Amino acid sequence: MRTETAPTPPETVRLADYTPPAWLVESVRLDVDLAPSATRVRARIAFYRNPGHGRERPDLRLDGRSLTFVSATVDGRDVAADLAHDREGLTLPAAALPGDAFQWDCTVEIDPAANTALEGLYLSNAMFCTQCEAEGFRKIAYYPDRPDVMAPFHVRIEAEREACPVLLSNGNPGEVGDLGGGRHFAEWLDPHPKPAYLFALVAGQLVAHEDSFTTASGQEVALKLWVRPGDEGKCAYAMDALKRSMRWDETEYGLEYDLDIFQIVAVDDFNMGAMENKGLNVFNSKYVLASPETATDRDYELIEGIVAHEYFHNWTGNRITCRDWFQLCLKEGLTVFRDQQFSADQRSAPVQRIGDVKALRGRQFPEDQGPLAHPVRPEHYVEINNFYTATVYEKGAEVIRMLHTLVGAEGYRKALDLYFERHDGQACTIEQFRQCFEDATGRVLDQFALWWSQAGTPRLKLAEVWDAPTGTLTVRLTQHTPPTPGQDEKHALVLPIVLAGVAPGGGEAIPERLIELSTPETELRFEGLSERPVLSLLRGFSAPVVVEREITPEQRAVLLAHDADPFNRWEAGRGLSVAVALDRVRQGTRIPDLWTEAMARMLADDSLDPAFRALALDVPGDDEIAREIAGQGGLADPNAIHAALSEMREHLGSRLSADLNATYTAMRVEGPYSPDAESAGRRALANRCLALLAATRDRTAFELADAQLQRADNMSETLPALASLTYYDAPSAERHLDAFHERWKGDALVIDKWLSVQATAPLGRTLATVDRLTRHPSFNWKNPNKFRALIGAFAMGNPVAFHAGDGSGYRFVTEWLLRLDAHNPQTAARLAGCFESWRRYTPERQEAMQAALTQMREAADLSKNTREMVERMLGA
């Protein structure tokens, strides 16, 4: 065997450098012999020349990382001596290849027990599991680990029967049998060609919650949800969500499931939410397990959405996959849009839309307006795992939503039908997707396509001139996208703008219309109006932009009271609250009655969905105000922001106390817990009332929370009461926290909530509390959920403590990120994003955050993942 220091691959991967694979795979046979620290993997791969790849026979290049090479043959001939190994894989020179098709047979050994990165094959609570997206399969076998190489897989797993009675992989079950000596095997056949990133293997002591589904064409599908013994009672909701997703994809998209079995496995140690491996989804247990006592309404909602998301990937992602990782939004943006549609159908569409936009503004806008800004389809990366971002997912979904708006529901369906018909079984690009829209609808999308390539949040400016004598409203709309790193020049985008005019006393003075703004500027004129209407702009948030407009509190009040578009009603209330907060932070302006009264009317308006009212009564978040201040050229002081928002909450709590108490009582849900949207909405409103009352720190409010904790038989009522008491430092908080821990110390997911409540409390002593909790027996920093629940919640959900003026919050988080980085780079790099907005804050904070980033950059052995994030954040 020759071992060479082959040239290290270029640091930066570029879309422009894409070349098709030289060798394609006809079929894969994988034999996995499981043992915790010495697993043997034998891969038998039938390769053939890619006919589209030029004339000369190319070398065979295979990816491989942390693999111990054992042997390799080509058509049975030992080729070990011909191989050139390097850190990223191996090369077999063309001269050693017999022809245009051959069989490669290679055995390696791997060490799952030592795999702390949770990528490739690893152990979680003695259970073997895999995570291969994006580039984890190369840690299992030498392989062309790129999504445009698709193949059918035949997998045989062998293991000790006692440690691993259950052996799972993708596809349909094949032979099983006993091997003597306490060992057994199982085979799995996946007939659908798939890229390696969709491979999965799970083995361990698991029990199945079973059900079945009959597809529209009458195929019976076995459904199995695998969990650890003891968790069987927490599977019903995820299973129900799965069946509803399967039906919904049939009725709304005409897409049926395509194997005899569909399985989900819940895993405790997982870097992200869930993974769509073909026929064998692997989930973070947080997004599967739910019982009324342990999961909140929000947990149920997330489980439903994520189960749907992963299931929908079966068509958008698996049957049609990505040509390369630059096309990630092809599967993620589209699949997020589909899961949002699903949730909107299953629950309240306006409430869903408001939640989606809040998430977009909360996570994607900061990204798009800061040092990490990148296009929905990035053009280069160092570490692809750093590009599973809010921009690719959430803005990617907004791009699909805009297409839907522009071509209409029917055109959209025609385009998607064509996409599935034309590209089933292929690895595609955004251009091919776009072509389907053009061909199906006849619409040219050249300019629209900028949404995929141009980074940054566009700003849409609205200027109005009202001419009373003629009853004419002239509206000028201007768009402008500020520069982002590496993209100084911005072009005008196609903005679908849904607008209407609302008469001051109610009613539509200007009927709703869709305007397509594709130039930098346009002017609209509305004539013959008897009075000046208030423009309801960007209904349903029809484009992901920041709106700049002059609007008076009175005009906002009109929209809040009368806008027929529920999203814009909520938006008007939000705008009002943001304006109050900004005035209070900047000039100490007293809280205007107009706002209090508007909130009071919302609270009391029984014609409105309680879930909607709960959202409308929510005072903006600290981050949102910080972003507004920075967006207007100022610097944010987290203490001042927090003080203003606390005063607003306290103000509502005391001024509206009678109404809040009344609504609190009226919203009480009797009878056994049910996670349905209506009861969840009532609970959300009741809990909002409770939180506002607690903000007064009044004894009676605390007693209300105490009582709720006493009587609650479900987590949706328990957790918010505990949070209110903790955040406002109620005398009983400590006692309740202790009791909660005592009651739930055996349930890891509930303990995560206990950690998060304490980590997000806006109290002076919180850093000390969090530091103490890092040494608590219930904490385990090596588990990603636990790390996120404590350190992540502190960094991302506790602005006052994280941004403490003395820099203590930054130092604490930095130290922990460095420790995590050595163990699990993917999760560390993701959490390092808590520093992305450093340029927003006051000079001394900027300096301290910059120092934290610099400290990380200088750290010895910093992972490539975190290094890329840190350097981008520093603007290097």
Which residues are tagged catalytic? 310
Name the amino acid, one letter, at 150.
M
Q: Quick one: 274 or 551, whose CB is closer to ligand TRP?
A: 274
Whether residue 35 is preceded by a cis peptide bond, meaning omega within 30 degrees of 0, is no
Phi, psi of 263 (to 5 degrees): -125, 150
Binding-site string for Zn ion from residue 283 to residue 322, where x marks contact by CB under 5 A and - marks none: ----------------------------------------
Interface with Zn ion by CB under 5 A: which range of 156-164, 324-332, 416-424, 494-502?
324-332
Q: Is 831 in the site for ligand TRP (CB under 6 A)?
A: no
- Find out whether 297 and 680 touch, Cβ atoms under 8 Å: yes
C-alpha closest to that of 303 among 328, 284, 278: 284
Instruction: Compute the least distance from the CB of residue 337 to Zn ion, in Å.
Output: 11
Rounded to the nearest whole angstrom, what is the least distance from the CB of residue 208 to Zn ion in the complex? 24
Residue nearest ligand TRP by beta-carbon distance: 272
Q: Reduce the secondary structure of 729-779 to three states and give it as a string.
A: CCCCHHHHHHHHHHHHCCCHHHHHHHHHHHHCCCCCCHHHHHHHHCCCCCC
Distance CA 577, CA 555 (A): 14
Cβ 424 vs Cβ 509: under 8 Å: no
Q: How far is the CB of 83 from ligand TRP (least distance, A)?
A: 30
- Which DSSP string corresponds to 62-100? EE-SS-EEEEEEETTEE-GGG-EEETTEEEE-GGG--SS
Beta strands in 423-572 (DSSP E): 427-428, 459-467, 472-480, 495-502, 508-517, 521-526, 534-536, 546-549
Choose between 416 and 693: whose C-beta lies nearer to Zn ion: 416
Count of C-beta atoms within a 10 Å radius of residue 543: 23
Residue 384 beta carbon to ligand TRP: minimum distance, rounded to whole angstroms = 9
Q: Binding to ligand TRP by residue 276, rule CB under 6 A?
A: yes
List, in sequence order, the alpha helices (H) in 347-376: 349-359, 365-368
Q: Are 178 and 184 in contact (CB under 8 A)?
A: yes
* Among 221, 274, 403, 804, contact with ligand TRP (rule: CB under 6 A): 274
Residue ranges in 293-352 that form contacts with ligand TRP under rule CB under 6 A: 309-310, 332
Q: What residue 272 binds from Zn ion, ligand TRP, none (CB within 5 to 8 A, per partner kind)?
A: ligand TRP
**Stretch of 86-94, 332-340, 343-351, 449-457 lying at the interface with Zn ion (CB under 5 A):** 332-340
Near ligand TRP by CB under 6 A: residue from 107, 170, 271, 708: 271
Stretch that binds ligand TRP, among 89-97, 215-223, 268-276, 466-474 (CB under 6 A): 268-276
Give the nearest distance from C-beta 711 to ligand TRP in angstroms. 38
The least CB distance from residue 790 to Zn ion, in Å, is 26
Subset of residues 401 to 460 that bind ligand TRP, contact rule: CB under 6 A: none
Any contact of residue 268 with ligand TRP (CB under 6 A)?
A: no
Q: Does 388 bind ligand TRP (CB under 6 A)?
A: yes
Part of the chain binding ligand TRP (CB under 6 A), chosen from 27-35, 131-139, 319-327, 515-523: 131-139
CA distance 506 to 528: 17
> Is residue 658 classed exposed, middle or buried when 0-12, 13-18 and 19+ CB atoms within 10 A define those classes?
exposed
391 contact choice in Zn ion, ligand TRP, none (CB below 5 to 8 Å, kind-dependent):
none
Assess contact for 866 and 828: CB atoms under 8 A.
yes
Exactly one of 124, 131, 663, 760 binds ligand TRP (CB under 6 A); that residue is 131
Contact flag: residue 384 with ligand TRP (CB under 6 A): no
- What's the closest the beta carbon of residue 397 comes to ligand TRP, in angstroms? 12
Distances (CA, A) of 68 to 83, 179, 713: 14, 26, 53
Q: Return the residue of 62, 235, 275, 538 that touches ligand TRP, per CB under 6 A.
A: 275
Under 8 Å between Cβ of 119 and 139: yes
Q: Are 757 and 719 in contact (CB under 8 A)?
A: yes
Of 272-280, 432-440, 520-528, 602-610, the window that binds ligand TRP (rule: CB under 6 A) is 272-280
Instruction: Return residues touching Zn ion (CB under 5 A).
Output: 332, 335
Residues near ligand TRP (CB under 6 A) are: 131, 133-134, 271-272, 274-276, 309-310, 332, 388
